[in-house]
Structure 1
Amino acid sequence: MTPTRTVRLADLTDLVHAPDTVGPRAREVHARLRAEWGPVAPGELSPGVRVWFAMGYAEFSEVIRNEEVFSRNGDNWSAVQEGKILPDMPIYPFVTTRQNSFHNDGELRRRLRSPVDRALSRVDEHGYAAQVRGICNDLVDDMLERGEADLVQDYAVLIPLLSVAAMFGMGQEVGDSMRKAAHKVLGGGQLAQEGVIELAVEIVDHIAKRRREPQDDLTSHLIDDPGLWDDNEVMEAMIVMIIAGNELTIATITQTLLLMLSDERFAGRLRGGRLDVDQAIEEVMWRDPPCYNITPRFALRDVELGGQLIRKGDAVVPCIAAANLDPVMTGDDPWLEIGNRAHMSWSAGPHACPAMRPGTIIVQAAVRTVLERLPEVTLAVPADRVERNTDSLSYRYPTSMPVRFVRTLT
């Protein structure tokens, strides 16, 4: 089949996150794309930088699970080898090889990833949940007397890095500065380089402090793990967790709050006193995922994928939003998705999100705190007028979510 035109990443972004996308609209869009190209579509990441989009669930799974054929290391991309990926491109930070599990495969990835998994397994989840609820409650306390707030700028963008900083044993002031640096990294270009340096400075100082004064926190656990050979590798592990988790968690919090405050199925239950937060999170993960495309993989040899010939050195972008809506997985009945956690929004395989459990704890606490503590909270603007960010290759979430509620004197 010969495609009639080339799809760009921006096309998929706009289609996935059009105001009426959640539900039938998204299914119609992806059905049309599949009818034209099949489960794997040729396209462009930016002008002149050709990629493939893996939209089918099976093809998505094959790409992210098989690192022997599809590498995460950007050095294997022909566009990098040909000098087409420049420092001012948003994709640049994600294909610049660094000494961490995010950018590597095989034995090196396993050595660098295992300490992260081991450290996270030692987190006291009950104690951590209490810490996160404290952060959320402090932010809500600042809103109560106003009777109105912006649930993005006053709340959601602050929570993930403050929560992750707490897990690393860092103070609130460090968490806020890391949040700003992480946002620069995801913006690409010169700002990305500045953001990496700012993050590194904060983290190196904290690692030195923890070497002098070990604590029962994630930083000390990473320092003590023999799988990380020096402070640079500890720093890189921390940077990956900060950058990867920040935008994903902001997006999940804001998307879930928007769904619960605008969709009558959830808003009605809210007014009736039944807060189905977990169900709302799962619906967001299926139908409006916080990360709609993940970092490209690079073919290590010629291979057939979804009826297309992928050449050695080609880039394949795994499209979460499209894979989640593959009719093979969901059919035409949305009720089949309830309780079904086979979505790909946490990814899977060797590079699956290592912090799914802490991330879920953060989202649950953030959403429940708003719904439980802001009396009669409602959106102050129609849901279809809530604007989303446009500066990310992977994330699209509300940049502002004004709400009103009954003022409460604290």
Structure 2
Amino acid sequence: MNDQTLNGPDTPRGCPVAHGGAELIRLYGPEAATDPQAIYERLRKEHGSVAPVLLEGDVPAWLVLGYRDNRRVLDNPRQFSRDARIWRDWREGRVPETSPLVPMVGWRPDCVSQDGEPHRRLRGAVTDGLLAASSRGVRRHATYFANKQIDAFADAGRADLVADYADHLPMLVLTRILGLPAGEGRRLVESCAQVFKGGEDGLLHNERIMQILGELAQRKRTEPGSDFTTALLEHPAGLDDDEIVSHLRLVLIAAHTTTSNLLARVLELVLTDTARLSGLIGGQLTVSAVVEEVMWDTPPLAVLPGRFAASDLELGGHHIEEGDLLLLGLAPGNVDPEIRPADGVALQGNQSHLAFSSGPHECPGQSIGQSIIEIAVDVLLHRLTGLRLAVPPEELSSTASTWESRLDSLPVEFAVQDT
């Protein structure tokens, strides 16, 4: 048995492969970390729009690769539930509580893990809280922290726009939205990243996040403010303590990870294409248009966890059994040749990408993330004269986990302003 595949008699119990002897590809490990797109295309070629895969611990799942099949899963919660309590491998004890999959896939008392009326109740509280937060100066917070981050490297004439800017700016804005001190936000950047990377460190950092947010919720009970945490505590839906902390975690991890990753990719696209950079500086191109393009080609979440088959059914020509885990392939779905043929289709103004998910669980914080990115790019381009890549574009690299592919660094140079 090699590092990437399992065959025939080595296939684990509960594997979603109906045809014996089929090769199972792991969505983790060295190949997945360096070239996930190659894995997606290999799976598409071998299995079609839905493919059997293995996750950490050789836990079986189905990866949905086709655009239309992704839409079917996302838009039909009766067939494809978000409630991990029906996950067969979990119910039958093949996924331990110590699995690094649990923080990403397991059931929690939040709106993402619910369907129907429980989902509507919790989702309403989150949406109302985010709406209130977005009306209280998200763009002002983003402008303030963008300038603070740039101040730290503006006199050096060079920076890494991933480590020095994109990794931290969204979290600093989120700390204001949630009501956390900025110092906590800087520590939480690493913890969020580790949860997505998985492994034992992911579990430890998830516990750290829950502890910090639990303390925040307790503090806001006695010291309420104009923040998302207070909005959840005071919402008429009457969320209990576990629901409050779980939703703080959900917003923190999802919003930070997707926004920081998206910001890095937008900056990468702008700095590797002088026409786009000139268009932004000259006003012929908007940041939102660049964001839209990135959403199609390199969505901030490549794979979205997860859905669970509510009954036996057919999907993409495969027999899916009740309780099977399905993963939404947002990145492979967006480049599905059935909707994006080789000769290309115009994407400008087309917002039907999968990057924000869809259906009842579609991302509720899209406008906040968009605002942070627009401000971040605008402030950067106005503050730094002569901004350019410090390395050839082909030297830029990315590292992927099961769920995302992150730009490793974005070294730049720029003119130092006279003081």
**CA–CA distance in structure 2, aligned partners of residues 289 and 204 of structure 1:** 31
SS at match of 2:237: coil
Per-residue deviation, 1:347: 0.5
Q: Is the 8 A contact 1:17 1:396 kept in 2?
A: no
Q: Is the 8 A contact 1:90 1:186 kept in 2?
A: no
**Superposition map of 1:19-58 within 5 A:** 30=41, 33-46=43-56, 48-58=58-68
- The aligned residue for residue 4 of structure 2 is none
Structure 1 gaps of 5+ residues are 19-25
Q: Is the 8 A contact 1:376 1:406 kept in 2?
A: yes
Which of 371, 381, 399 aligns to 2:408? It is 399
TM-score (norm 2): 0.87
Per-residue deviation, 1:261: 0.2
- The aligned residue for residue 21 of structure 1 is none
The Cα offsets for residues 124-158 of structure 1, whole Å up to 9 and x where unpaired, read as 44722011111001111111110001111111111
Per-residue deviation, 1:193: 3.2
Alignment RMSD, CA only?
Answer: 2.5
Q: Is the 8 A contact 1:42 1:50 kept in 2?
A: yes
Which of 21, 26, 31 aligns to 1:8? It is 26
- Rate the CA distance shift 1:9–1:339 in 2: closer, same or farther, 3 A: same
- Rate the CA distance shift 1:118–1:205 in 2: closer, same or farther, 3 A: same
Q: Is the 8 A contact 1:119 1:221 kept in 2?
A: yes
Matched to 1:219, the amino acid is T
Per-residue deviation, 1:255: 0.5
Q: Is the 8 A contact 2:100 2:200 kept in 1?
A: no
Greater shift, 173-182 or 230-239, is seen at 173-182
- Rate the CA distance shift 1:126–1:235 in 2: closer, same or farther, 3 A: closer
Q: Is the 8 A contact 1:388 1:397 kept in 2?
A: yes
**CA–CA distance in structure 2, aligned partners of residues 12 and 110 of structure 1:** 36
**CA–CA distance in structure 2, aligned partners of residues 191 and 115 of structure 1:** 31
- The aligned residue for residue 7 of structure 2 is none
Per-residue deviation, 1:89: 4.1
- Rate the CA distance shift 1:126–1:239 in 2: closer, same or farther, 3 A: closer
Greater shift, 39-48 or 277-286, is seen at 39-48
**CA–CA distance in structure 1, aligned partners of residues 218 and 93 of structure 2:** 37
Matched to 1:381, the amino acid is V
Which of 152, 170, 177 aligns to 1:160? It is 170
The Cα offsets for residues 329-357 of structure 1, whole Å up to 9 and x where unpaired, read as 33445452111000010111122111111
Which of 396, 411, 415 aligns to 1:386? It is 396
- Rate the CA distance shift 1:86–1:385 in 2: closer, same or farther, 3 A: farther
**CA–CA distance in structure 1, aligned partners of residues 78 and 353 of structure 2:** 23
Matched to 2:59, the amino acid is V
- The aligned residue for residue 299 of structure 1 is 309
Q: Is the 8 A contact 1:214 1:220 kept in 2?
A: yes
**CA–CA distance in structure 2, aligned partners of residues 335 and 400 of structure 1:** 30
**CA–CA distance in structure 2, aligned partners of residues 98 and 305 of structure 1:** 27
Structure 2 gaps of 5+ residues are 1-17
Q: Is the 8 A contact 1:145 1:409 kept in 2?
A: no
Which of 241, 257, 275 aligns to 1:247? It is 257
**CA–CA distance in structure 2, aligned partners of residues 401 and 184 of structure 1:** 20
Which of 268, 275, 288 aligns to 1:258? It is 268
**CA–CA distance in structure 2, aligned partners of residues 244 and 142 of structure 1:** 26
TM-score (norm 1): 0.89
Q: Is the 8 A contact 1:9 1:45 kept in 2?
A: yes
Greater shift, 124-133 or 4-13, is seen at 4-13
- Rate the CA distance shift 1:228–1:239 in 2: closer, same or farther, 3 A: farther
The Cα offsets for residues 359-407 of structure 1, whole Å up to 9 and x where unpaired, read as 11111112222222111111111222222234x3211111211110001
- The aligned residue for residue 23 of structure 1 is none
**CA–CA distance in structure 2, aligned partners of residues 5 and 231 of structure 1:** 45
**CA–CA distance in structure 2, aligned partners of residues 124 and 194 of structure 1:** 31
Work out whether 1:408 is the aligned partner of 2:412: no
Matched to 1:106, the amino acid is G
The Cα offsets for residues 201-252 of structure 1, whole Å up to 9 and x where unpaired, read as 3223322332223222212111110214323321111111011112111110
- Rate the CA distance shift 1:198–1:7 in 2: closer, same or farther, 3 A: closer
Which of 187, 199, 211 aligns to 1:201? It is 211
**CA–CA distance in structure 2, aligned partners of residues 321 and 98 of structure 1:** 25
The Cα offsets for residues 255-297 of structure 1, whole Å up to 9 and x where unpaired, read as 1100000024413435656453211111110011111110021
- The aligned residue for residue 355 of structure 1 is 365
Matched to 2:27, the amino acid is L
Which of 324, 337, 347 aligns to 1:337? It is 347
- The aligned residue for residue 286 of structure 2 is 276
Work out whether 1:133 is the aligned partner of 2:151: no
